[in-house]
Amino acid sequence: MLKIGIIGCGKITEVRHAPEYSENPNCQIVGFFDMVPEKAQAMAEKYGGRAFDSLESLLASDLDAVSVCTANIYHAPISILALRAGKHVLCEKPMATTRQDCEAMVEEAQKSGKFLMIGLNQRLAKAHMKAQEILQSGEMGRVITFETKFCHPGPEGWTGSKDSWFLDKRIASFGALADLGVHKTDLIYYITGQKIVKTSAVVTTLDKKLPDGKPISVDDNAFCIYTLESGAVGTMHVSWTNYGVEDNSTKLYCTDGVIRLYDDPKYSLIIEKRNGDVTPYQLDFLTSNKEQTSGGRTSTGVIDAFVNSIITNTPSALSGESAIHAMNVIFANEESAKLGKTIDVK
Ligand SMILES: NC(=O)c1ccc[n+]([C@@H]2O[C@H](COP(=O)([O-])OP(=O)(O)OC[C@H]3O[C@@H](n4cnc5c(N)ncnc54)[C@H](O)[C@@H]3O)[C@@H](O)[C@H]2O)c1
C-alpha cells in the first residue's frame, strides 16, 4: 500500500487529488501540508491521515509519494525537495515557471531514480486517446491544419475569488497562456506525435480586472499559430474571457478527413471521412470547471496513472521529460508575443 502526502490543499486537491487517491485501493493518504494550516487540517479530517506543520516534517516522514498542488512558482522548488527526499512526485501543471526549473526537475528525478509526473490530464481523456490511436494508425492520412481551444470564464469561477494568486504574475507567472495553453499545447504534441517547431503568438490582457478596477498582471488571452515538424500549421486559442459555455474543443483537418473532439454536445469524438462517412463516438465528457466546482466530478485518471506507474515500476506517458516540450513552447510563445515575431522552439 503506497503512502501518499499532498502538498497544497486548495481546489485541485479538494476536487481531484484527495478524492482520487482515496478511491484508489493501492494507496492511502497519510499526510497533508498547506501554508495555511487549517486547510491541511480540513483535508485530514475528511480523508484521513494527519496535517503536518511543515513541509520538512512531511518530507522526512515515511511517505512513498507526494502530489504538489501549490501555486505555480512553488512547483519546482517543492518537487525538487521531494525528489531529494526520495519521494515520487506528481506535480500539477504548469510544470514550473522557468525553463531552467523544468530542466532541474527532470535532472533531479533522474538522479533520485524516482518518478516525476506532471498533471497533464488531457492526454488521458478517452476521446483524445482514441483520436491519437486513429491518427497514428494512418487511417486519416496526414494532418494539414488544426485548431484547438480552451476558453472559460477564468479562475474566479474555479477558486471563487476575484483576486486569487492565479491573477498575480509574481505567483502565477503566466495567465491563460500556461494555465490552459499548456494542456492544449501538450495535447497537439501527444495526438500528432510531432513537436511544435515554430510559433507566432499574441499574448494579451483584454478584459479581466481586479476588484480595484486595475487590469490583472497576467494575460487573459493567448492566440498562437503553431507549425509542426511535418509543416502542418494550426492555431491554439486559450482564454479566460469566455463568459458563455466552456469551449475545450480540438479539430484536426487531415488529408483523409476531419477529427472533431469535444465540440459536440452528444459525441466526444466525431470522425468525418473524406468519402462522406461519419462515425460518432460517445466515449466520455470533459468535466468543465463549473461542473467540478459544483461537485460533478469524473475521474481524470491522473492519480490512478501515477499510482500504477509506481507500483508497476513503469514510466508514465505523463513524465516530466515529456512535459518539457509543451513548456518550451509556452516560453517560446511568451518570447514571440514580446518580440512580435515568429520564434523557433528550443
Ligand atoms: N490539471 C489541471 O487541470 C488543473 C486544474 C486546476 C488547477 N491546477 C493546478 O493546481 C495548482 C493549484 O491550483 P488550485 O486551483 O488548487 O489553487 P488554490 O489556490 O485553490 O490552492 C493552492 C493551495 O496551495 C497552498 N499553497 C500555496 N503555496 C504553498 C506553499 N509554498 N506551500 C504549501 N502550500 C502552499 C495555498 O494555501 C492553497 O491552499 C496550480 O498550479 C494550478 O495550475 C491544475
pLDDT tens, the chain, 346 aa long: 999 999 999 999 999 999 999 999 999 999 999 999 999 999 999 999 999 999 999 999 999 999 999 999 999 999 999 999 999 999 999 999 999 999 999 999 999 999 999 999 999 999 999 999 999 999 999 999 999 999 999 999 888 888 999 999 999 999 999 999 999 999 999 999 999 999 999 999 999 999 999 999 999 999 999 999 999 999 999 999 999 999 999 999 999 999 999 999 999 999 999 999 999 999 887 777 666 666 655 678 999 999 999 999 999 889 999 999 999 999 999 999 999 999 999 8
182 Cβ closer than 6 Å to some ligand 1 atom: no
Query: In a mutational test of the pocket of ligand 1, which residue from 75, 91, 92, 327 has the highest number of ligand atoms less than 8 Å from its CB?
Result: 92
CB 172: neighbour CB atoms within 10 A? Answer: 22
Closest CA to 222 of 149, 169, 162: 149
Cβ of 39 less than 6 Å from ligand 1 = yes
Q: Which atom of ligand 1 is nearest to the CA of 155?
A: 15
- pLDDT of amino acid 159: 86
Per CATH, 2-121 and 122-301+318-344 having the same topology is answered no
Residue closest to 96 by CA, chosen among 333, 323, 338:
323
Pocket test for ligand 1, best of 32, 34, 327 (most atoms within 8 A of CB): 34
CA of 31 to the centre of ligand 1 (A): 16
Residue 175 Cβ < 6 Å to ligand 1: no
Is the CB of 122 inside a 6 Å radius of any atom of ligand 1? Answer: no
Residue 71 DSSP class: -
**pLDDT score at 252:** 98
Superfamily of domain 2-121 in CATH is NAD(P)-binding Rossmann-like Domain (3.40.50.720)
Cβ of 72 below 6 Å from ligand 1: yes
Ligand 1, atom 5, lies closest to the CA of: 12
Domain-by-domain residue ranges, the chain?
Answer: 2-121, 122-301+318-344
CA-nearest of 35, 19, 38 to 27 is 19
**Alpha carbon distances (Å) from 110 to 46, 67, 93, 121:** 35, 18, 20, 22
Closest residue by CA, ligand 1 atom 43: 93
Going by CA atoms, what residue is nearest to atom 32 of ligand 1? Answer: 35
From the CA of 33, give the closest atom in ligand 1.
33
- The gap between the terminal CA atoms of the chain, to the nearest Å, is 41
Q: What is the helix (H) or strand (E) element at residue 292, kind and residue range?
A: helix 289-293
C-alpha–C-alpha distance, residues 98 and 104, integer Å: 10
> Does the beta carbon of 121 lie inside 6 Å of ligand 1?
yes
CA atoms within 13 A on the CB side of 10: 17
Give the CA radius of gyration of the chain: 20
Distance CA 134, CA 136 (A): 6
CATH tag, 122-301+318-344: 3.30.360.10
Local structure of 215: helix, strand or coil: strand
What number does the ligand 1 atom closest to the CA of 78 have? 31
**Ligand 1, closest atom to CA 172?**
41
11 C-beta closer than 6 A to ligand 1: yes
Residue 235: name the closest of 312, 179, 290, 181 by CA.
Answer: 181
The finding on whether 16 has its CB within 6 A of some atom of ligand 1 is no
How many CB atoms lie under 10 A from the CB of residue 195?
15
Closest CA to 231 of 149, 143, 327: 143
Distance separating alpha carbons of residues 30 and 39, to the nearest angstrom: 15
